[in-house]
């Protein structure tokens, strides 16, 4: 109802957006921390945001700000959340992996992380074989993240269905991503129609 569909928070709990006091404080890890932006997708359920943020602090990250867009859902019907944080360079990959291990869909992590897009088609008994589990297992691939899903089941959920899947992949890691997808789908008798590779905008 409100014209403002998003909320902005900072790690100090106040409304001041300036959270860097410039004192050069180093986080645990010995290296001067660097700022990073991570974009997430969250289910609109109580406790999801807190659960998503825990791996950041637990792995040496310091939250700077959180932009939580409640009124702007992603194509998968989830809430986009943009998190600004700082951490030593060697902790960033650990934080991203920990988020994934917690079931959080990481759309983007750092400006240059994902340089290619893959669009592919999954065909089979997607509902019967637990589509959510399939997506979560694909999501665990360290070099890609699911950004969009379109499901088609014209004959009902008990029959063969198809899903158009879009993933963002690290540049040069396309084959590794496809190998991981094939490993997941082969165990469920799901056919993968090989993708077109797109350059991210």
Q: What percent of the chain has pLDDT over 90?
A: 11
Number of domains in the chain: 2
Q: Could you tell me if residue 91 is inside a domain?
A: yes
Report if residue 1 sits inside a domain.
no
- CATH code of 31's domain: 3.30.70.260
Does an H or E element contain 21, and which? Answer: none
Per-residue model confidence (pLDDT) at position 114: 62
Q: What pTM was computed for the model?
A: 0.49
- Average of pLDDT values for 168-195? 86
What local confidence, expressed as pLDDT, does residue 118 receive?
85
Mean pLDDT for the chain overall: 75
| Cβ–Cβ under 8 Å, residues 171 and 148 | no
The mean per-residue pLDDT over the stretch 89-115 comes to 80
The proportion of the chain whose per-residue pLDDT surpasses 70, expressed as a percent, equals: 75
Confidence bin at 189 (pLDDT 50/70/90): very high
Where is pLDDT greater, at 46 or 71?
Answer: 46
Clarify whether residues 83 and 158 are in a common domain. no
Determine the pLDDT at residue 123: 94
Residue 67: pLDDT band (50, 70, 90) is: confident
Query: What is the biggest distance separating any 2 CA atoms in the chain, rounded to whole angstroms?
Result: 62
pLDDT score recorded for residue 137: 82
- 57, 99: one domain: yes
Residue 180 pLDDT exceeds 80: yes
Cα–Cα distance measured from residue 166 to residue 175, given in angstroms and rounded to the nearest whole number:
15
Confidence of residue 115 (pLDDT cuts 50, 70, 90): low
Q: Where are the alpha helices (DSSP H) in the chain?
A: 48-58, 92-101, 131-139, 174-186
What is the chain's length?
A: 201
> Chain centroid to CA 156: how far?
29
Domain that holds residue 128: 116-199
> Do 133 and 95 lie in a common domain?
no
* pLDDT tens digits along 137-165: 887 765 677 777 888 888 777 788 999 98
27 has pLDDT over 70: no
């Amino acid at each position: 109802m409100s014209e403002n569909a998003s909320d902005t928070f900072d790690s100090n709990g106040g409304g001041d957006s300036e959270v860097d006091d410039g004192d050069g404080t180093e986080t645990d890890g010995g290296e001067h921390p660097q700022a990073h932006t991570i974009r997430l997708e969250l289910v609109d359920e109580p406790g999801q945001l807190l659960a998503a943020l825990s791996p950041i602090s637990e792995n040496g990250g310091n939250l700077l700000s959180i932009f939580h867009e409640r009124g702007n859902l992603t194509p998968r019907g989830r809430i986009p959340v943009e998190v600004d944080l700082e951490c030593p360079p060697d902790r960033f990959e650990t934080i991203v992996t920990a988020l994934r291990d917690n079931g959080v869909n990481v759309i983007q992590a750092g400006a240059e992380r994902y340089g290619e897009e893959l669009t592919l088609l999954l065909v089979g008994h997607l509902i019967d074989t637990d589509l959510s589990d399939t997506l979560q297992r694909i999501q665990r691939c360290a070099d890609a993240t699911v950004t969009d899903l379109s499901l088609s089941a014209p004959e009902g959920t008990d029959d063969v269905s198809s899903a158009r899947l879009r993933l963002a992949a690290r540049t040069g890691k396309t084959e590794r991503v496809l190998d991981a997808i094939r490993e997941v789908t082969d165990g469920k008798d799901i056919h993968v129609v090989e993708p077109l590779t797109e350059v991210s905008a």
